[in-house]
Amino acid sequence: MRAVIQRVKKASVRIINTGEIRSIGKGLVVFLAFKQNDSLQEIKWFTNKILNLRIFSDENGKMNLSVQDINGEIMLVSNFTLYGDVSKGFRPNFMYSAEPSIANKIYKDFIEHFRSSSSLYVVTGEFREMMDIELINDGPVTIILDK
């Protein structure tokens, strides 16, 4: 599993085929990619890490607070291109990404576990759909998690 986490002031995702817009305020946008063998073990590790990353400023301006500490909001977006390998050539190779049917199950399991692990407001993108994502990166602060 791989995640790119961005601290944001606000963000929205528009699902192209329906026009539906889902938005969050201050919090985190999390782009997720899955491998074939990702399991509940990775889901639990990533959920715990994301919810407890101390990347929000405290009263002294030090990154010392988690998204839970600030009662922030979360946007989870599946993004298989995070496993795009361009070490050879210029066209990404996605051989490390899980097959769509497997990735969709892991993504659904991730969302379910994430929501049950926190009372924070959570929105999601749509698996295998084209989306327009707008965000205002706060900082900027961007963290990459890989396991």
Q: How far apart are CA 52 and CA 72, in angstroms?
A: 12
Query: Which one of 18, 81, 124, 142 is the catalytic residue?
Result: 81
81 is catalytic: yes
Q: Where are the domains of the chain?
A: 2-146
Instruction: Read off the pLDDT band of 114 (50, 70, 90).
Output: very high
Class of domain 2-146: alpha beta
* pLDDT tens digits, one per residue of 13-70: 999 999 999 999 999 999 999 999 999 999 999 999 999 999 999 999 999 999 999 9
Instruction: Read off the pLDDT band of 136 (50, 70, 90).
Output: very high
Instruction: List the structure tokens of 138.
Output: 């706060």
- Round the CA-based radius of gyration of the chain to a whole number and report it: 15
Considering the chain, what is the average pLDDT of its residues? 97
